Amino acid sequence: MPDDPAPTPLRLTTGELRKRLDAFVDEYLKDKSPQTAGTYRRSLNTFERWYAVHKQRFRFTEDGVRAYKTYLMEERGLHQVSVSTYLTALRRFCQYLVDIGLLESNPATEVKGNRRPSTHSRQVLTEQDIETLFATVDADTTIGKRDVAMMYLMLYAGLSEIELVRADLEDLEQTLMGWFLRVQGKGHTAKDQQVPVDERVLEKVRLYLDVRGRYRPEDPLFVSHGNRSEGKRLNTRSVRSRINGHLKAAGIKRRGVTPHSLTHTAALIWLNEGMSIEEVKQRMRHGTLETTMIYFKKQGLLTRDPEDLNELLDD
């Protein structure tokens, strides 16, 4: 008997694609955090725009998905981690099309994303950088005390910008094991993680709160002190802008150094202080020990001359 004819590759109009994308976001991502759903939506928006240009040639086949990957890599010039994120979103969407019967199999399954790099693109700070950074901050002002407290939480507690922004005063708790801050990390929908806060960090937070004025437990931990926005919760853009300003003022805003470099540096500080790699993994809230090992291999950078770091981190 003759073989069954191959199924006709799926072809959608731009209107049909938009309808399916909206249904995917509404149905498949309803239990995901707003951040996760937003990442998928933004990634698929890129695919939708690309599809509108290539709809005459594109089909939901492995070759079609590979053409999209080539576009992301060569024309958009996206970082390899971003390419993986975009392909993951498309892979999940294709699986949705399989589940509702529009596709027989997922054409994106065999089109793998690029490997995550074995080193972090962001640089870390050195001990000299850290000393210079805090020496340039005017810690006599309320804003200066606030900024120092934020940077201490990043450098010595491993907090990210979004975790700083989401923190409330009542999230800072004292237990029999010491002080902790309950945090809501990226991709989480609740403050379901506890971050140890040691005395050096707690001291800076207290210095800020002592001059902040009256506050309630449910108030944000860090607020604006501008004339028009006094008392309002800081957003990530404001935090990033403030820390970038301090990095530039200190003269340590070199290639690869960003506010998130402070969070990366926390792991190196802990390792240099003798903390076990397993505990560092837990404090950094890494998914695998492999990620923590990246820092383990780089811990010597903390004591290096900052001028040497560009060459070292490119090796």
How far apart CA 278 and CA 280 sit, in angstroms, is: 5
Average pLDDT rounded to a whole number, residues 52-66? 88
Residues 6+ apart with CB under 8 A from 243: 147, 150, 151, 154, 259, 262
The pLDDT value given to residue 208: 96
Residues 6+ apart with CB under 8 A from 161: 154, 236, 239, 240, 259, 260
The pLDDT value given to residue 13: 86
The token duo for 123 is 């640089």
Under DSSP, the state recorded for 2 is: P
- Do residues 57 and 93 share a domain? yes
The pTM assigned to this predicted structure is: 0.61
Q: What is the CATH number of the domain that holds 56?
A: 1.10.150
Residue 105 lies in a domain: no
Residue 107 lies in a domain: no
- Do residues 141 and 72 share a domain? no
How far apart CA 153 and CA 281 sit, in angstroms, is: 17
Number of domains in the chain: 2
- Do residues 194 and 288 share a domain? yes
* % of the chain at pLDDT higher than 70: 86
Residue 214 reports pLDDT greater than 90: no
Residue 58 reports pLDDT greater than 50: yes
Residue 54 lies in a domain: yes
Separation in Å, CA 308 to CA 47, 286, 313: 41, 28, 9
* % of the chain at pLDDT higher than 90: 38
Q: Angle at which helices 236-249 and 142-157 pack, to 10 degrees?
A: 90
Average pLDDT rounded to a whole number, residues 124-150? 93
The pLDDT value given to residue 315: 35
Residue 109 lies in a domain: no
User: What would the pLDDT profile of 26-36 be if each residue is shown by its tens digit?
Assistant: 887 777 777 77
Q: Residue 250's CB: how many other CB atoms inside 10 A?
A: 18
Residue 6 reports pLDDT greater than 70: no
3-state secondary structure 285-310: CCCCHHHHHHHHHHHHHHHCCHHHHH
Mean pLDDT of the chain: 84
Q: What is the CATH number of the domain that holds 219?
A: 1.10.443.10
Residue 94 lies in a domain: yes
- Do residues 69 and 186 share a domain? no
Which residues constitute the domain of residue 182? 127-313
- 8 A C-beta contact, residue 310 and residue 255: yes
Residue 102 reports pLDDT greater than 80: yes
- Do residues 156 and 252 share a domain? yes
